[in-house]
Amino acid sequence: MNALHALARRRVLAAGLLAAGIAPLAACGRKPSRGQAVPSGATVLALGDSLTSGVGASADTAYPAVLQRLTGWKVINGGISGDTSAQALQRLPELLQKHQPALVIVSIGGNDFLRRQSASATRANVYKICEQARAAGAQVLLVAVPEFTVMATLGQLSDHAMYEEIASELKIPLHRKGWSGVLADAKLRSDQIHANAAGYELFTQGLVDRLRETGLLAR
């Protein structure tokens, strides 16, 4: 009977720990999977919209050009001003076939938000973009884009929650608060939704730090 009582007490204690959220701590402490370092000279595709193409600055100060300078990669500027996630998804296969990138950096969705398009459709498109890039043999880094709300007009920007969800589901690295941080600072913007040369430079420096953290860029 004493043994049965002891077993019962252990079960009650275990249930209490689970209810208190103590048991998952071990899982929370796990490090996310690291990427494989992309060597110097490799081709990298930066897929996106006007923030990728570099609206608000010159071509040589757009973030893909800055990234190429800082990493030694051959960075393809796959940004088209005004592009939605659906349009980026449509042109992705040709870009993958033509350039065969080792890494695809995905920064898309801002125009969807501005045009009040379906959030579920945008999420599905971004998800498919990441899936297709990986299926083509590329590693993927997802860049969070700000959610445009009433608070955003006051300079208080935050990343849209779907990027965290997609990165978690696909187990791919996410660059958080890159655009949110830059576009919240008037000194780093050319207008309300685009960076200036200093903004693109700062964004790219943060991106490089994140690439190093994930192992995609050798330290």
Structural domain includes residue 176? yes
Same domain, 10 and 68: no
9 by DSSP, 3-state: which?
Answer: helix
Domain boundaries, position 134: 38-214
Residues 3 and 45 in one domain: no
Q: Do the domain assignments include residue 219?
A: no
pLDDT at 98: 98
What pLDDT score was predicted for residue 22? 33
**Do 75 and 176 belong to one domain?**
yes
CA distances from 78 to 23, 60, 119, 129 (A): 44, 14, 23, 13
pTM of the model: 0.84
φ/ψ of 96, rounded to 5, equals -65, -40
Q: Which amino acid is at 66?
A: V
Hey, CA dihedral for 106, 204, 82, 44, is it positive or negative? negative
Is residue 93 domain-shared with residue 114, that is, in the same domain? yes
pLDDT (0 to 100) of residue 23: 33
* Predicted confidence (pLDDT) per residue in 76-110, tens digit: 999 999 999 999 999 999 999 999 999 999 999 99
In a domain, 153, yes or no: yes
Q: Are residues 19 and 82 in the same domain?
A: no
Give the whole-number percent of the chain exceeding pLDDT 90.
Answer: 79
Residues β-bridged to residue 146: 159
Q: Residues of the chain with pLDDT > 70: what percent?
A: 82
Residue 30 pLDDT greater than 50, yes or no: no
The pLDDT of residue 147 is: 87
> What is the mean predicted confidence (pLDDT) over 182-208?
96
Residue 174, in any domain of the structure? yes
Question: Do 152 and 103 sit in the same domain of this protein?
Answer: yes
The mean pLDDT value of the chain amounts to 86
Reported as a single tens digit per residue, the pLDDT across 35-61 is: 999 999 999 999 999 999 999 999 999
Instruction: Give the C-alpha separation, 148 to 203, whole Å.
Output: 19
Are residues 108 and 154 both part of a single domain?
A: yes
Same-domain pairing of 52 and 25: no
**Cβ–Cβ under 8 Å, residues 178 and 144:** yes
Looking at the structure, tell me whether residues 148 and 198 fall in a common domain: yes
18 pLDDT above the threshold of 50: no
What DSSP state is assigned to residue 195? Answer: B
Phi-psi region of 155 (alpha: psi -120 to 50; beta: other; left: phi over 0): left
Strands 43-48 and 74-79: parallel
Give the N- to C-terminal CA distance of the chain in Å, as an integer: 61
Q: Are residues 94 and 200 in the same domain?
A: yes
Confidence label for 5 from pLDDT (cuts 50, 70 and 90): very low
The pLDDT value given to residue 33: 59
When divided into structural domains, the chain yields a total of: 2
* 98 is a domain residue: yes
> Quick one: average pLDDT of 25-38?
60
Q: If you average pLDDT over residues 119-132, what whole number do you get?
A: 98
CB 35 within 8 A of CB 139: yes
Phi, psi of 91 (to 5 degrees): -90, -5
Same domain as 176, residue 122:
yes
Task: Return the minimum-mean-pLDDT range out of 69-73, 110-114, 150-154, 171-175.
Answer: 150-154
Query: CA–CA separation, 215 vs 218, rounded Å?
Result: 6
Q: In CATH, what number is assigned to the domain containing residue 172?
A: 3.40.50.1110
Measured distance CA(119)–CA(121) in Å, rounded? 5
Quick one: 2 and 73 in the same domain? no
Spatial separation of the C-alpha atoms in residues 219 and 212, rounded to whole Å? 6
